[in-house]
């Protein structure tokens, strides 16, 4: 049993990883341009989209290993939110992505006394409790939370719902596992070991993974640069697609020695 994967275009490998409760359809607006230059691999995380929940152990390491099993060797891994944590974990496990692009990603999702740039643990507990009542509504509520702070939130929410409408609802057990991953993961002490070239993309209005988390993430990585969107929230690749693609292509076009 393996992940559901779609491959588009040809060229260097580019693996795209979505966030919690979503699926690979969120990347659709970027594909016409990306597939002209890259072999784009669209992977649905376990229990999301068309991937079976049993495609991997319900852990961050399990999910990272499942993606590595379908990723072309030497690919760039681009992960959004939880997908970014999957990408970092794969690199730390020795699966050897060529480069990382981490969008609205944090090494620690929940706040702590020494980590104010996150969400309160109670927010995730509330979502976990709501899953048992109505998991479809819980996903819809989480979509709204991700877009909070963006001036285009209402129109963007409609866009996201349209993009996701043709895929099955996520598996409730996979959703619960994803929330547990978000609540428990803390990669901060391991970041210095991530020596591969990395682009950290942040939105200054992001209230789910605050820009400060991205700043700290980039500062802790040995070979990272930042790209920030001043008026974006949690989904800059959807609200600022042209600028996002330009920054991505500039990063990927850098010679290895200069990256």
Residues with a known catalytic role:
81, 206, 234
What is the separation of C-alpha 68 from the centre of its chain, rounded to a whole number of angstroms?
15
- What does the alpha-carbon distance between residue 192 and residue 169 come to, in Å, rounded to a whole number? 37
């Amino acid at each position: 049993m393996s992940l559901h994967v779609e491959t588009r275009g040809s060229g260097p490998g580019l693996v795209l990883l979505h966030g919690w409760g979503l699926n690979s359809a969120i990347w659709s607006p970027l594909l016409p341009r990306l597939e002209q230059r890259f072999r784009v691999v669209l992977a649905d995380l376990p229990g999301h989209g068309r991937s079976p929940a049993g495609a991997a152990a319900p852990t961050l390491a399990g999910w990272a290993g499942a993606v590595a099993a379908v990723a072309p060797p030497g690919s760039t891994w681009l992960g959004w939110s939880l997908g970014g944590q999957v990408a970092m974990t794969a690199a730390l496990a020795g699966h050897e992505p060529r480069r990382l692009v981490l969008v609205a990603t944090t090494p620690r999702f929940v706040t702590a006394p020494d980590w104010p740039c996150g969400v309160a643990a109670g927010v995730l507990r509330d979502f976990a409790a709501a899953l048992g009542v109505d998991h479809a509504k819980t996903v819809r509520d989480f979509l709204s939370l991700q877009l909070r702070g963006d001036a285009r939130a209402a129109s963007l929410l409609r866009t996201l719902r349209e993009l996701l409408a043709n895929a099955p609802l996520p598996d409730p057990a996979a959703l619960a596992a994803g929330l547990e991953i978000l609540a428990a993961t803390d990669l901060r002490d391991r970041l210095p070991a991530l020596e591969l070239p990395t682009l950290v993309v942040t939105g200054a209005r992001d209230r789910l993974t605050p820009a400060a988390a991205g700043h700290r993430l980039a500062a802790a990585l040995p070979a990272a640069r930042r790209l920030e969107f001043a008026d974006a929230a949690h989904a800059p690749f959807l609200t600022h697609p042209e600028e996002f693609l330009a920054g991505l292509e500039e990063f990927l076009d850098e010679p290895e020695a200069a990256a």
